Amino acid sequence: MDILSDALDALRTGRPAVVRTEARAPWAVRFQPVAGAGFHVVAEGGCHLVPPDGEPLALGPGDIIFLRRGSGHTLCDTPGTPAIDFVPDKVGAGSPIGRFTVPGDGAAAVLVCGAYPLDVERRHPVLGDLPEVIHLPARPGRHPALRSAVEQLCAEIQAPQPGSDTVVATLVDLLLLYILRSWYAEQPDQRARGWAAALDDPVVAPALQAIHDDPGHPWTVESLGERAGLSRAAFARRFATVVGDPPLTYLTDWRMVTAARMLRQSGAPLAAIAQRNGYTSEFAFAKAFKRRFGMPPGAYRKELRQAAVSGLNQ
């Protein structure tokens, strides 16, 4: 798996959801913080985004907003309009598609509002390098893949058909990748530093790929540097400058992220998860995991299962 896809998959904690929102002026909708990232697409009409900090942002048809940490915010026809809470209705049990309507007699706005359950508290540069709010204005001819995904998503949730749940979940996942690609393309300075630079760097990218391909391998700074033909010291400097962490710090962090993913997605024994992530001792693995996540791996898995059961019962 390529590095960006692998990083996003590892940070995922659940299934994405999307809501078709139709509101008529005067209207304002309050979105509570979510454990993940969120996005809005203005399908028709216009509105304003009122972030938790900063000035309101005017949005027009086709504009896309991405909120890195799912911060609480408000969408409205005009700043100052009294807001109601965003409480959508599901199309069907277990469906990722929802509906939300604000009735009225004024001008209509149609939005696509989505959320990605992501472990945003676990530091990783794929999200850490991003601003809190990304605004991608609609521009003719710009980012055709992103625009195509948006059009398909809007059509699918407007008139769901058999198989729409799967189609929508896939399109929402694609949207996240296209939003990140589009933003990096419009930020040339980001290509010279940070996560985007790491993915393109001829020295750092092979080392990252090696770590992601086999996190359990006994990597050293020397063995990673050999892949780029650099000395230990030169490689360590280059990696830390581009990624923001020394090579072995990133390796340890990635092992913990990978272990958390295995605890969420599999029933593998703790000993097998420890070995897969480079720990010959289950005790050493549990100690490292608790240092990173604040609880032992067994308790982490138990908490996830309890949360899943609670979600199914809601």
pLDDT digits (tens, 9 = 90+) for 210-267: 999 999 999 999 999 998 889 999 999 999 998 888 999 999 999 998 999 999 888 9
> For the chain, what is the mean pLDDT?
88
Structure tokens at 296: 């032992």
pLDDT digits (tens, 9 = 90+) for 151-180: 999 999 888 888 888 999 899 989 999 998
Kindly report whether the global pTM for this prediction surpasses the value 0.75. Answer: yes
Query: Which pLDDT score is estimated for 121?
Result: 63
188 — pLDDT class (breaks 50, 70, 90): low
- When mean pLDDT is compared across 137-151, 153-167, 295-309, the lowest value belongs to 295-309
3-state SS, 50-80, equals ECCCCCCEEECCCCEEEECCCCCEEEECCCC
Cis peptide bond N-terminal to 162, omega within 30: no
Structure tokens at 51: 């972030």
Specify whether the CB–CB gap between 109 and 22 falls below 8 A: yes
Handedness of CA 266, 270, 274, 275 (dihedral sign): negative
123 — pLDDT class (breaks 50, 70, 90): low
Q: What is the rounded distance in angstroms from the CA atom of residue 152 to the CA atom of residue 174?
A: 11
% of the chain surpassing 90 pLDDT? 55
Domains of the chain with bracketed CATH: 3-190 (2.60.120.280), 201-311 (1.10.10.60)
